[in-house]
Amino acid sequence: MASNKKLTNFQIKLLKKNAHKLKPIVMISSNGLSESLINELENSLMHHELLKIKISCSDREDRKKIITYLLEKTSSHLIQSIGKVAVIFKQNNQTQINLPSS
């Protein structure tokens, strides 16, 4: 789905805990996705690693398609998706979030 390395359940649980306090950094309107939005998302992932995204689309299936597209384009992991908010993670080389190996 995304990055080569699969996250463990324990790592996902830890990332959900860290994401709880975050505010959405990227907001996707009903106008959809653009190349500049994808670039901004990749830059934000590089800087923050863990992002909350708000998707202002009323249709659940459309939100799922948007999330899947974003994960493929950014090679990130879906941590959680609740309603119109998704949390994604992409670890960079100079990681700020230390994930335990198990």
> What pTM does this model have?
0.87
**Residue 78 gets which letter from DSSP?**
E
Residues 6+ apart with CB under 8 A from 6: none
Residue 79's beta-bridge partner residues?
none
Domains of the chain: 9-89 (3.30.110.60)
Sequential pLDDT tens for the chain (102 residues): 344 578 999 999 999 999 999 999 889 887 778 899 999 999 999 999 999 999 998 889 999 999 999 999 999 999 999 999 999 999 887 777 778 776
d(CA 102, CA 66): 30
Residue 26's beta-bridge partner residues?
53
